[in-house]
Structure 1
Amino acid sequence: MRFRDGQWLVAEGMRVEYAEEVYRITETETPAGKGLSLLCPSKKIMTRGDVLNLSSLSIVCFLPIVLPQWPAPDSHPGHRTRHPRRPLRHHHPLARRPPSRPQLRPLPRRPSRLNLLHHQLRRRHHPHVRHPLRHRLLHPHDFAISFHPSHLPPTKHLTTLLNRSVGLAYSPATSNPLQTADMRNLKHYIFTQTTLGVGESVHGLGERFGAFNKVGQQVNLWNADGGTSSDQAYKNISFWMSSRGYGIFIDTPERVELEIGSERCCRVQTSVEGQRLRWYIIYGPTPKEVLERYSILTGKPGGVPGWSFGLWLSTSFTTSYDEGTVNSFLEGMKERDIPVEVFHFDCFWLRAFQWCDFVFDEDMFPDPKGQISRLKASGMVKKVCVWTNPYLGQASPVFKEAVEKGYLLKRKNGDVFQWDLWQTGMGIVDFTNPAACGWFVSCLERLFDMGVDSIKTDFGERIPHEDVQWFDTAVDPKRMHNYYAFIYNKLVYETLQKRYGADEAVLFARTATAGTQRFPLTWGGDCESTPEAMAESIRGGLSLGLSGFAFWSVDIGGFEGYPAPWIYKRWVAFGLLCSHSRLHGSNSYRVPWTVDEDDKGDEGCSATLAKWTHLKARLMPYIFAQAQDSIRRGLPLSLRAMCIEFPEDPTSWTLDSQFMLGESLLVAPVFEEDGDVQFYLPKGRWTNFFTGEVKSGPGWAEERHSFATLPLYVREGTLLVLGREGERRTVYDYTEAVEVRTYFAVEGTKAVLVDSEGAEVGVLEVGKGGEVKGQEKLKGESVVKVTEVEDIREALTRDPNFSKSKFNPYTNIPAGAPELPWIR
């Protein structure tokens, strides 16, 4: 929303009034603690008469609050964690009315424990705790507030609210205050403008597929089904990260419009329709610290089981399939040595025109329970997922019952809200009705009784906000549009948890809002089968990771269209290095032999998919340990933006076509058919995972890759725990017969060992003399290897009996090499 026409004029049809000075400051007490209330009139008060006939804004700034380092509730079984500092809150309640429900609350995964900490905080004084962030009024009669770290001088501010940066607007423009007596034909907006520093970049705001740096963009936080080639987003998250070491969370689920260096080049403008705006400024100074504190405010990511990291296979969207088709696909994957962990039944497991009434199409699947049982008994797949959505087509026999019992959203005149967008005459399940929730849960439980293990929660974006009446009459329909994603996924996730256990629940969601990271996992939505769409998807995954989401997936090969074999194979390499990996399309299958006419060569689609699936299985000891750390700290596992690991490197804030998998592996997908790729290596020594070649950063590199490799580099100072060579399983004992590689490890370098449930069972650590401590936790024929290429060459020099022909091309370790000294 733009309120001005250039720097000097007000936009046509707008009346804009600003907080012109801070007239009075008073202390205030709120449930969150002490604060300062600022009375800010919309003109400078020079005489006593100036206080009449003008608007004013009330701004409440909460004083910085830091939680002591009390023990936190465990974020995952088997882990004990330290409670990080509580996010610092800066509220802007520009308010004349209380917020309508529902409003996102800062509830953690286990709220009773954290609520107790809040209770203790209000009753205890901790003078020894230094506030890491302060706000400062710059002049008593001007409106200007500066935010700066307390350990730095005030001139080193993070951001400021300067003159004419907080205000209200009417549309259409009013000329007389009497006009505001009737607001039915007036729109009222509240906005703030924080300053953008020189060179500052802005990131996050959900799964956004455009430019990684949002400066220069107009962003509308309003969930929409727009695919990956537009400025619309399935997952709009009202949180953004600055390259200057802070983040801002806008605490509302309603439509938020941002002008990020677009209306004014030097400011980020946040506006909402209404009379109240509240946001939190969260200081890091590192992105990891910002995300960790944000996750305490909105919720830690939920845990996911090890099996979910394996390959998921569907038969795609509009393709025809029955039990025979499913069996033939899984048998074909087994023949080609491609292990499948989860089989997914997409939309047409249901009868046409009856989506989504949870009833299998009996013509195609006459015995669904038996079929699922046979699938699992065959060993070709371990888990089964089905597609659902929160809509109900009028043709379903269940529709009449849902209408009679009030399960569906209504119009204001009492009629059921229906439209033909997606399903003929479909209604929308009203999750503010407890009875509707109970019915939906009972439908899910019938699927679980059949053997279904996971649910794909599709849609939830197209929620109307005009002429609607929710069962809970207190909710604001405009806030429900985005918030619906939260209550929809929450209901399904908690139902899965109740059946399968707290950390065995997995849903596959497309839509999200702030806080939905508690209900993993999500995928990137509908993308085309092009290299450009793959790049769009990467940008979306990076932005979502900077919005507090730990786990993310993508439709490998692209959703729309028919991927060329080379695109499919490049996408396979990228997709198997995402946290989760799924083969899925729209009107064409994604089993590899249908893409390249069953090319049986070493670089055919089948061989390529097998290689990358095997590699991910080998990486599971590292991936699963990193997953637990991501859950605990609120960090993305993959795709992890480079700036999270290397915030001090300005280039890392510009990189939108590569990412980190956890903290130690750099991944640069290839977008060219010939394999040419350019990527950036931050400061330090980086070792090619496949060849052992070492490159030094910072700097750009260019390489050419076959379909069996891509730039996968290991960070200096890493102990990398891998499964045994030839490992095909996703879930196994991650401490037995493993391979531990050291990459320029120094004293203190660590690697956490976890079991197949994610519980920590030990830590490997390089000691002062280069020895590895904690090896007693390793079982079987586990080995520790040095992979620095310089040391291998030295070993070859010392022992001429070794030759390059004896190198294992996969690990670059000389076959039968003697134990080499640890390099510190």
Structure 2
Amino acid sequence: MKQTNYYLFDWMDFDESLSKDESLWKAYTSTEVKAVDGDIHITVPYQKQVLQEDMLADTDVPQRDYILILRAYGDSIVRMFTSMVDDEMKDTGSYMLELDKALTHKPLSVEFADNVYTIKDNDGRTRARIDITPYNTEWWSDLQPGPQPTIHLTVYPDGNLAKGVELSDDHFSPPRYDALPIGFCLTEGKPDRATVSFKCEADECFVGTGERFRKMDLSGQTFYLKNQDGQGVNNRRAYKNIPFYMSSRMYGVFYHTSDYCRLSLADHSSRSVQFRNDRATIDTFIIGGETPERILFHYRQLTGFPPMLPIWSFGIWMSRMTYFSADEVDEICDRLRAEHYPCDVIHLDTGWFRTDWLCEWKFNPERFPNPERFLKRLSDNGYKVSLWQLPYVANGAEQIEETKANKYISTPTGGWENAAGTSGASNFSTLDYAGTIDFTSEKATEWYKGLLKNLLDMGVKCIKTDFGENIHMDATYESMTPEQLNNIYSLLYQKAAYEVTKDVTGDGIVWARAAWAGCQRYPLHWGGDSESSWAGLAGSLKGGLHFGLSGFAFWSHDVPGFHSEPDFMNSVIDPKVYMRWTQFGVFSSHMRYHGSHKREPWYYPTIAEDIKKWWRLRYRLLPYIIEESRIATESGWPMIQALLMHHPEDKTVWHIDDEYYFGRKFLVCPVMNGNDRRDIYLPEGEWVNFFTGEHFEGGKWYRNVEVPLDEMPVFCRPGTEIKVYDEKVDSTDDIDWQKVKTLFIE
């Protein structure tokens, strides 16, 4: 983006030479407001603007009217919908929506008095207002033209008149706009972009938007919501973009779309939150609630609740990129048991195929000669097996001709005879991936499920649904354009794998990297290719916190980071990073070791025994973790909770991204530097160090606290009860749940 003085270029991406056939249309004052079948229909005229740098109404062109619809869901959600391309507002038929049965429509009615339309629900609560009162002006100069008409609409999603969400008509002077309340563009006579803006306060903070590797307060930033390979956890790219944000004023907004879109959180203008959709439809759910947890609960009522995961998944997962044979896996698993490192899952990454990275969904017959016996032996020893794969078919795969002939994969736009090869599906392989599995096709989806069923029938328990944030774009799919499919692809992909896994094994689970709105229904997700460094550790936590503030309950990360630095595959990991990341992993919803270098603890002999102590603590805390996880599936709580979830009135915590609650009872302060020191903020009240029993006064900072490598600052409130399992085990199979005890924090 080239920054100019003109809204046309800075936000709407017009051609700066003004030589293209495109025009901008601005929403004017509504001309009719009426109730229709319990919804409110608002007639909004749009005025074409002259194709020039400064905004100016082109009065030679007739206005165009479009209907803006308001619909109330329950007591806390108002939907605002308009389309310039004849899209229909529906409650069903969207991959993203899975409306809670308890979330019923609340009929709306409208009253008009004193130039104000007041929109109320059937309980008499005000849910929106439209003010058509003329501007209050006193003539002083005609140096600038007067402002263009606009729509003054304020939504009160939960009926709280103190926190209305108001459309923004934001400008420096009438010709110099920073935000439009609603607007759209015509390109070559066809609508192709639309925008909506809301006013924001000077001190307002924003969180969410997906797995965002940024500071806690996202105010002053703009995000292009397009899923792509994040290439680590320290940049603006993201595997998991979620078109949802939450405000410190206690409301949230969900933009219901899978199109490429842009979200500015008080960035292009500090007075406005702006959203731009690359399709000329605006479908916005404005969500109220008294607390962040209630706002997230209502968001899940729209897009679905995460289901509970199998108990074994909360144990430790061991992996690396990659194990290459049954003998290698057996040796590692046997040693884990012999040395009593508790572990539940062994994950096989890219090396279980005939050729590394060549995904054919079949075990290598030489290196895994009897996969059923191999899986049975591991199962008998208390291990569940997870397998890596991806949603692309390579030209060298045995299924390639079948997938082409049956259109199970995307078809190149110019046909197969003119197809150019692509290796863009992987950063680590030179394989030519011919196409993306077409999950918009029922036939292709069932074919894919059949591939996974063969593996699950053998005894595999989980499929790693890697990649999915990128698809072949110069291609056709059965029922969507590539641009519409790209963001939503991860949901269709994970849904297929989740469903067949649950059908065959009884346990609903995947291990997924990409995500969009609704993917929380198909857990679980991990944080991608983090660097094995302090920066990678800090970036991972930032991503996890924002992901939890975007509707997801379960999230994990690669312990101790995925790749080395500076030599991506070969640099040896700092044992201190391994130790500190392990501590973070213990207090995460799921805990998996993985990466490009050796990950087994015995390769780090100076800390191996301490690592075992932390692993045992993980298993000791499993009753608490599982109890909190069940609560998370029925509420708005994630397992990793930003401090603002508990203390939204404390302005300090809206800027803290290196502490978190694990469940509702542990306040965790991971050390993310090599100095063995950190600043600790404790919110108001009394706190107890979970490990030492020392008491601390809250509402203050503790600066430069020394934390020895084998320790970690974790706090609870006095009087807290924590369910624990005190006996040593090798896996969750060994736990006798009748022996769970309650630990009382004094």
Which structure: greater strand fraction?
2
Equivalent-residue separation in structure 2 for 1:61 and 1:652 (angstroms): 37
Distance 1:403 1:63, change over 3 A: closer
- Map of 1:463 onto structure 2: 471
Q: Could you tell me how far 1:139 is from its partner in structure 2?
A: 2.9
Does residue 695 (structure 1) correspond to residue 700 (structure 2)? The answer is no
User: Is the Cα–Cα contact under 8 Å of residues 2 and 259 in structure 1 kept in the other structure?
Assistant: no
Pick from 186, 207, 211 the counterpart of residue 207 of structure 1. 211
Q: Could you tell me how far 1:517 is from its partner in structure 2?
A: 0.3
Pick from 615, 619, 629 the counterpart of residue 631 of structure 2. 629
TM alignment of 1:648-659, pairs within 5 A: 648-659=649-660
Q: Could you tell me how far 1:515 is from its partner in structure 2?
A: 0.1
One-letter amino acid matched to 1:147: V
- Map of 1:763 onto structure 2: none
Q: Which segment is superposed worse, 479-488 or 52-61?
A: 52-61
Does residue 589 (structure 1) correspond to residue 589 (structure 2)? The answer is no
Pick from 156, 166, 190 the counterpart of residue 181 of structure 2. 166
- Map of 1:89 onto structure 2: 78
Equivalent-residue separation in structure 2 for 1:626 and 1:354 (angstroms): 37
Q: Residues 200-233 of structure 1: CA distance to partner in whole angstroms, max 9, x if unpaired?
A: 1111111111222221212011110122122010
TM alignment of 1:405-484, pairs within 5 A: 405-415=406-416, 418-421=421-424, 422=426, 423-465=431-473, 467-472=474-479, 475-484=480-489
Q: Could you tell me how far 1:190 is from its partner in structure 2?
A: 1.1
- Map of 2:131 onto structure 1: 137
- Map of 2:45 onto structure 1: 40
**Aligned with 2:101: secondary structure?**
helix
Equivalent-residue separation in structure 2 for 1:685 and 1:4 (angstroms): 51
Q: Could you tell me how far 1:687 is from its partner in structure 2?
A: 0.9
One-letter amino acid matched to 1:251: H
Root-mean-square deviation over aligned CA pairs: 3.0
Pick from 189, 195, 200 the counterpart of residue 196 of structure 1. 200
Q: Could you tell me how far 1:393 is from its partner in structure 2?
A: 1.2
Does residue 21 (structure 1) correspond to residue 28 (structure 2)? The answer is yes
Q: Which segment is superposed worse, 427-436 or 641-650?
A: 427-436
One-letter amino acid matched to 2:453: E
One-letter amino acid matched to 1:34: D
One-letter amino acid matched to 2:41: L
Does residue 289 (structure 1) correspond to residue 278 (structure 2)? The answer is no
**Aligned with 2:396: secondary structure?**
coil
Q: Residues 558-617 of structure 1: CA distance to partner in whole angstroms, max 9, x if unpaired?
A: 10113200110000000121100000002x1100122x3x33xxxx1x222211211121
Equivalent-residue separation in structure 2 for 1:93 and 1:738 (angstroms): 54
One-letter amino acid matched to 2:549: L
One-letter amino acid matched to 1:647: P
User: Is the Cα–Cα contact under 8 Å of residues 47 and 64 in structure 2 kept in the other structure?
Assistant: yes
One-letter amino acid matched to 1:498: D
- Map of 1:265 onto structure 2: 270
User: Is the Cα–Cα contact under 8 Å of residues 216 and 542 in structure 2 kept in the other structure?
Assistant: yes
Equivalent-residue separation in structure 1 for 2:583 and 2:634 (angstroms): 28
Structure 2: runs of 5 or more not aligned = 50-56, 109-119, 135-148, 171-178, 565-571
Q: Could you tell me how far 1:142 is from its partner in structure 2?
A: 4.0
Equivalent-residue separation in structure 2 for 1:137 and 1:711 (angstroms): 53
Equivalent-residue separation in structure 1 for 2:26 and 2:342 (angstroms): 62
TM alignment of 1:100-119, pairs within 5 A: 104-105=94-95, 107-108=97-98, 114=101, 118=104
Q: Could you tell me how far 1:706 is from its partner in structure 2?
A: 2.6
- Map of 2:535 onto structure 1: 532
Q: Could you tell me how far 1:29 is from its partner in structure 2?
A: 3.0
Q: Could you tell me how far 1:355 is from its partner in structure 2?
A: 2.4
User: Is the Cα–Cα contact under 8 Å of residues 256 and 285 in structure 2 kept in the other structure?
Assistant: yes
Equivalent-residue separation in structure 2 for 1:274 and 1:354 (angstroms): 36
User: Is the Cα–Cα contact under 8 Å of residues 494 and 522 in structure 2 kept in the other structure?
Assistant: yes
Identity of aligned residues (%): 29
Equivalent-residue separation in structure 1 for 2:538 and 2:359 (angstroms): 32
Q: Could you tell me how far 1:521 is from its partner in structure 2?
A: 0.1
User: Is the Cα–Cα contact under 8 Å of residues 621 and 734 in structure 1 kept in the other structure?
Assistant: no
Distance 1:398 1:563, change over 3 A: same
Distance 1:132 1:329, change over 3 A: farther
Q: Residues 441-489 of structure 1: CA distance to partner in whole angstroms, max 9, x if unpaired?
A: 1111110122101110001111133x321123xx232110111111100
Q: Residues 17-59 of structure 1: CA distance to partner in whole angstroms, max 9, x if unpaired?
A: 45353141232536xx411313233279xxxx99761444635
Distance 1:679 1:268, change over 3 A: same
Q: Could you tell me how far 1:275 is from its partner in structure 2?
A: 1.7
Q: Could you tell me how far 1:62 is from its partner in structure 2?
A: 1.1
Equivalent-residue separation in structure 1 for 2:536 and 2:521 (angstroms): 27
Equivalent-residue separation in structure 1 for 2:536 and 2:452 (angstroms): 33
TM alignment of 1:488-567, pairs within 5 A: 488-501=493-506, 504-561=507-564, 562-567=572-577
One-letter amino acid matched to 2:332: F
One-letter amino acid matched to 1:468: A
Pick from 225, 229, 232 the counterpart of residue 225 of structure 1. 229
Equivalent-residue separation in structure 1 for 2:126 and 2:658 (angstroms): 34
Does residue 721 (structure 1) correspond to residue 728 (structure 2)? The answer is no
- Map of 2:52 onto structure 1: none
Equivalent-residue separation in structure 2 for 1:660 and 1:496 (angstroms): 31
- Map of 1:647 onto structure 2: 648
What is the TM-score with the length of structure 1 in the denominator? Answer: 0.77
**Aligned with 1:366: secondary structure?**
coil
TM alignment of 1:13-412, pairs within 5 A: 13=17, 17=24, 19=26, 21-29=28-36, 33-42=38-47, 53-56=61-64, 58-66=66-74, 85=75, 87-98=76-87, 104-105=94-95, 107-108=97-98, 114=101, 118=104, 129=123, 131=125, 133-137=127-131, 139=133, 142-148=150-156, 152-153=160-161, 156-162=163-169, 165-168=180-183, 170=185, 180-181=188-189, 188-227=192-231, 228-314=233-319, 316-317=320-321, 319=322, 321-352=324-355, 355-377=358-380, 379=381, 381-412=382-413
One-letter amino acid matched to 1:614: R
One-letter amino acid matched to 1:631: T
**Aligned with 1:218: secondary structure?**
strand
Q: Residues 247-273 of structure 1: CA distance to partner in whole angstroms, max 9, x if unpaired?
A: 000000111112222211221111012
Q: Could you tell me how far 1:131 is from its partner in structure 2?
A: 3.8
